[in-house]
Chains A and B, each alone.
Chain A
Amino acid sequence: MTAAQLFSPEESARIRADFPILTRTVRGGRPLVYLDTGATSQKPTEVIDAERRYYETVNAGAHRGAHLLAEEATDAYEGARSTVARFIGARPADVVFTKNATESLNLVAYAFTNAAAPGAMAGVDPAVAERFRLGPGDEVCVTEMEHHANLVPWQELCRRSGATLRWLPITDDGRLDLTDLDTLVNERTKVLAFTHVSNVLGTVNPVATLVARAKEVGALTVLDACQSAPHLPIDVTELGVDFLAFSGHKMYGPTGVGVLWGRGELLDAMPPFLTGGSMIELVRMEGTTYAPPPQRFEAGSMNVAQVVGLAAAIDFIEGIGLDRIHAHELALTERLLDGLARRPWVRVVGPTDAVDRGSSVAFVVDDVHAHDVGQLLDAEGVEVRVGHHCAWPLHRRFRIAATTRATFGVYNTAAEVDALLAALDTVPAVFGVDVSQQVGA
């Protein structure tokens, strides 16, 4: 396990100097305390420059045309694919670029629907084709802590196919409740889709246990890695999952680019999601055959500049090292959990220790709505997320409408944790909260 360890003040200052936005002020000249990296991260100069440089010196149709610029654009695009592949321990051919993780997850969900079309799986090994056959009597299992992006596509797939959706519940302290794992994931289960790290609770889920059970029953595993890819080292072989999705913009990269990794033999068998230019092998008026992956899943002109920016973001992350980033963020998380524990009028929703934990810390203040808490924090320049964070069922599970959520990135500091706590201390006076009172459940 990684031990919590803050960056030195010098290193922190160096990292922060790399993010132009951190020099701006907010709300009456206050310094910006950005604690919403879980929603989207800020961008370092390297990423902004990589996108600009691409447009200024290379821009052309990647995988289109034979002129020099088109060759260079293709090289930049495919070079970025290799960078992403190396980052997650994968083969470049198994890395698909999308517009975001939501599209990546829909791409997998729609493979089941499209596989049901007549002839869609012709020529595919019957054993592999069978894994994409979904209908009444079959089951898809998710968890109660999923972001809507890894819940709604599976709900919709079940609605279209007649399969049944099941879910693993959450314990009171914010961990997955695995008591009934063997009944919830059973011989009828075709897909087990779950998040690596909860975007609300911060919980790091036991991937090995879940994957082992899925393998026993022959279910495909889909991992939402949005909240882990920028924070924990990821290796697809070690994780053992079949599909993995994440977004570029949460990992210091541009908006508009996401990644889907899938096992080669599965991607090979899957029908396309979006169709059109560049995903084809042969087109006749009567019909079309498809290109092999990853091109099969990259229809139309792609987000080349953003893909190039994502590669720059990965270089940035690797320049610091994910082990060290994780250790730093863990130290910030511990400091915040400590501070909140000393305020009995605040209740953390999620694990209250830093074991198997990412850096999302969600909390409620008794009788004060998260929007109001967030507004007072914003008045002090502290920018957090409020609401249900696209995890409405999770909030229902804890019988709360909304939480206030702080999430950390590589640029955050211990002083910023203290700024959050100080801003939080302005809440009781405004809303008449009894600070000696323990929050009711």
Chain B
Amino acid sequence: MDLYQELIIEHSKRPQHAGLRDPFDAEVHHVNPTCGDEVTLRVKVGESGELEDVSYDSIGCSISVASTSVLAEECIGHPLEEVFETYNAMRSMLTSKGADPGDEEVIGDGVAFSGVSQYPARVKCALLGWSAMLDALAQAGVDISATSHPASTSSTTA
């Protein structure tokens, strides 16, 4: 089936940059209560406003593990503005129900997840690590209002 691109299987079997590392500015634990997927994720913001490190421990389905792996690959070492742009593009594609095929220039291997948007039950799996990263950045004191993360547009969700 079209959902399980080779890239997704590869990332899920060999998650990149996996494991929790020091130092870090904030750590969050996010769960997907309907299926029991869990991710613990740490962020470290560098001196010059780049995302110096994202480290994580994730238990879950291939979609959630692979998506977090791609996140690490696409975001570690990048300026925060780029990280936000990647997040926005990824979220837009995943929640588009197929309308947005994803821009490889922006999200790299993330385009392998374009098929997920056809399966509403799995969108949450693919977004788990990304939401955790935004939450961790917010907890680290980073202004995330430039993102489409629900917490940045609503005053009631955290």
| A residues with CB within 8 A of B | 368-372, 375-376, 379, 386-388, 392, 395, 401-402, 430-432
Q: Which of B1, B9, B38, B125 contacts A371 (CB 8 A)?
A: B125
Q: Are B4 and A371 in contact (CB under 8 A)?
A: no
Q: Given A388-B36, A402-B35, A431-B9, A371 and B59 touching (CB < 8 A)?
A: no
- Not counting A379-B1, A395-B36, a sample of 11 additional A-B residue pairs whose C-beta atoms are within 8 angstroms of each other reads A369-B37, A369-B60, A371-B125, A372-B4, A375-B3, A375-B122, A376-B4, A387-B35, A388-B35, A401-B60, A431-B62
Q: Are A376 and B1 in contact (CB under 8 A)?
A: yes
Q: Are B9 and A430 in contact (CB under 8 A)?
A: yes
Which B residues touch A402, using CB under 8 A? 35-36
Q: How far is the CA of A320 from the CA of B38 in the complex (A)?
A: 44
User: How near does chain B come to A33, taking the closest CB pair, in angstroms?
Assistant: 16
Which A residues touch B1, using CB under 8 A? 375-376, 379
Q: How far is the CA of A373 from the CA of B3 in the complex (A)?
A: 12
Which A residues touch B119, using CB under 8 A? 375
Chain A interface helix/strand/loop/mixed = helix
Q: Given A375-B3, A387-B35, A392-B36, A401 and B59 touching (CB < 8 A)?
A: yes
Q: Which of B13, B38, B62 has most A Cβ within 10 Å?
A: B62
- 10 closest Cβ contacts across the A-B interface? A371-B61, A369-B61, A387-B35, A401-B36, A379-B1, A388-B36, A372-B62, A402-B36, A372-B61, A371-B35
Q: How far is the CA of A79 from the CA of B34 in the complex (A)?
A: 38
Which A residues touch B4, using CB under 8 A? 372, 375-376, 430
Which B residues touch A388, using CB under 8 A? 35-36
User: How near does chain A come to B23, taking the closest CB pair, in angstroms?
Assistant: 29
User: How near does chain B come to A29, taking the closest CB pair, in angstroms?
Assistant: 15
Q: Are A371 and B122 in contact (CB under 8 A)?
A: yes
Contact digits for B57-77, partner A, Cβ 8 Å, 1 yes 0 no: 001111100000000000000
Q: How far is the CA of A277 from the CA of B134 in the complex (A)?
A: 48
Which A residues touch B3, using CB under 8 A? 375, 379
Q: How far is the CA of A375 from the CA of B126 in the complex (A)?
A: 14
User: How near does chain B come to A372, taking the closest CB pair, in angstroms?
Assistant: 5
User: How near does chain A come to B2, taking the closest CB pair, in angstroms?
Assistant: 9
